[in-house]
Amino acid sequence: MTKPLRENRDFRLLWLSGLFAVLGGQMSALALPLLVLKETGSAVQAGAVGTVSVGAVLITMLPGGVMADRIERRRLMRLCDVGSLTVVTALTIAVFYGHAPMPLVLLVAAAGAVISSVYAPAVFGLMRAVVPADQMGTATARLQARTQTARLVGPLVGGALFGIHPALPFAIEALGLLASTVCVALVRTRSRARTTAGSAFSKRELTAGLTFLWKIPYLRTVLLIFGLGMNFAFGALTFIALTAFSDGGRSGIGGGFVISCVSAGALAGALFAPRISPARHSRVLIVATCWTCVAAAGVMAWLSQPVVAGLMCALCMFLSTVASIGFLSKLLVVTPEEKVGRVQSAAGFLSSMVQPFGPLAGGALLMAFGPRWAFALTGCVLAASALVVTFAASARREPAPPAQDPAPADPVEPGAERVTPGA
């Protein structure tokens, strides 16, 4: 009989390690640009922090997946934590003594992005050995709830600490990374390090995850339409709402309400997902999310009220989070264990590569046509995506999990627990 997740020691440790790391990362995500603004007075240089982070993530996401499949994953996670701890500690000392050079700030931003590109696929790869397949949806939902909570709380705490002393957010992040390192070190389960001849970063290795996704019609269609297309359009939709209801930048109340509703919807979706086993209903949830986004765009075009827009965005984000958890859970189950890192990185890459352009497109539509038509045109893009997901034959054939290898796959230390999928 499979024991509940709350009794799964290694899963609890992975959950806690991520909480410490993500909470600290969210605090510094706000504190870094504030630090640059305080030091230089330049909004352009402050914005460069975000640009460097996004660019570094996109560049290193696919190589990070290769590393997560080539190196024993628990060891790789520990190396990532130690690397993050080193650069954050250096920045904390520099800020404490009154001067943080811009190159050091950018190095911290880039290092954090690169390390997260390696850490995330390693975590999901190790999850395959820690969590049974029938509990993967619940486990993924709990990870999402943890992340969304950190995103809500982290910036608030980071801003408050920065107001007391600029070094405090980074000092707390360093302590969190130290705690994360300890949690990962206590995990007993090991993954199998994959040994393959040839260069680790050859074209074949870097594109192995993309190739796997492309060969399975369901995964290909959902990622291109729901992951890539809907992310782009919904990013444009929320930016239009943020700008339109901020009264041209004269008031942040309306726009702030919309963004808060988006975050609240994501957290509610992550908390609700374990109640319905989203992996079993992933297609229905994806279709429902797409058409709800279409309806939201139409309502916002018709009723230009920030309260209505916020509630509609919250509903869309709620459904999107539940659907994404279901899809990710299914993806982890149907992917062969030796490819989890590369496939997870490839899926993240496809979903993230157009996100920076959504707000840009939304701003262009708003400038050219005004709020009502900007909402309507974005709704047309969302409707096209919804039609494909609803009626495309490839989106209706969900893949089956691969055959399980009866041989032991994940060695552990002598005397350590070993949890296998489906046990």
Q: What is the pLDDT of residue 186?
A: 92
pLDDT digits (tens, 9 = 90+) for 6-20: 888 999 999 999 888
Question: Is the pLDDT assigned to residue 195 strictly greater than 70?
Answer: no
Q: What is the CA radius of gyration of the chain?
A: 22
The highest-confidence range among 21-25, 286-290, 299-303, 412-416, by mean pLDDT, is 286-290
Q: Print the SS3 string covering 215-283.
A: HCHHHHHHHHHHHHHHHHHHHHHHHHHHHHCCHHHCCCHHHHHHHHHHHHHHHHHHHHHHHCCHHHHHH
pLDDT of residue 99: 81
Determine if the pTM surpasses 0.75.
Answer: no
Dihedral of CA atoms 362, 313, 121, 10 in degrees, nearest 10, equals 160
Q: What is the mean pLDDT of the chain?
A: 81
Whose CA is closest to 386, among 214, 212, 234?
234
Which pLDDT tens digit goes with each residue over 90-127? 999 999 988 888 888 888 888 888 888 888 888 888 88
pLDDT value of position 416? 38
Cα–Cα distances in angstroms (integers) from residue 41 to residues 33, 35, 45, 46, 228, in the given order: 11, 9, 8, 8, 36
What whole-number distance in Å separates Cα of residue 233 and Cα of residue 239?
10
Question: In this structure, what are the phi and psi dihedrals at residue 296, rounded to the nearest 5 degrees?
Answer: -65, -45
Backbone angles phi, psi at 303, to 5 degrees: -115, 100
Residue 322 is given by DSSP the state H
Structure tokens given for 285: 């949830």
Q: How many Å apart are CA 154 and CA 152, to the nearest integer?
A: 6
Mean pLDDT over 237-245 rounds to: 79
Question: Domains in the chain and their CATH numbers?
Answer: 1-191 (1.20.1250.20), 206-400 (1.20.1250.20)
For the beta carbon of residue 370, count every other beta carbon within 10 angstroms. Answer: 11
The length of the chain is 423
Residue 174 pLDDT grade (very low, low, confident, very high; cuts 50, 70, 90): very high
The mean per-residue pLDDT over the stretch 374-380 comes to 91
In this structure, is the dihedral angle defined by the CA atoms of residues 372, 374, 380 and 385, taken in order, positive or negative?
Answer: negative
Instruction: Specify the residue for token string 């001849």.
Output: 197
Q: Compute the distance between CA of residue 419 and CA of residue 406 in angstroms, rounded to an integer.
A: 14
Is residue 13 within 8 Å of 184, Cβ to Cβ?
yes
Q: What is the largest CA-CA distance in the chain?
A: 67
Q: Among 407, 342, 279, 321, which Cα is nearest to 125's? A: 342
Question: Confidence band (pLDDT; 50, 70, 90) for 134?
Answer: confident
CA angle centred on 107, ends 105 and 111, rounded to 5°: 125
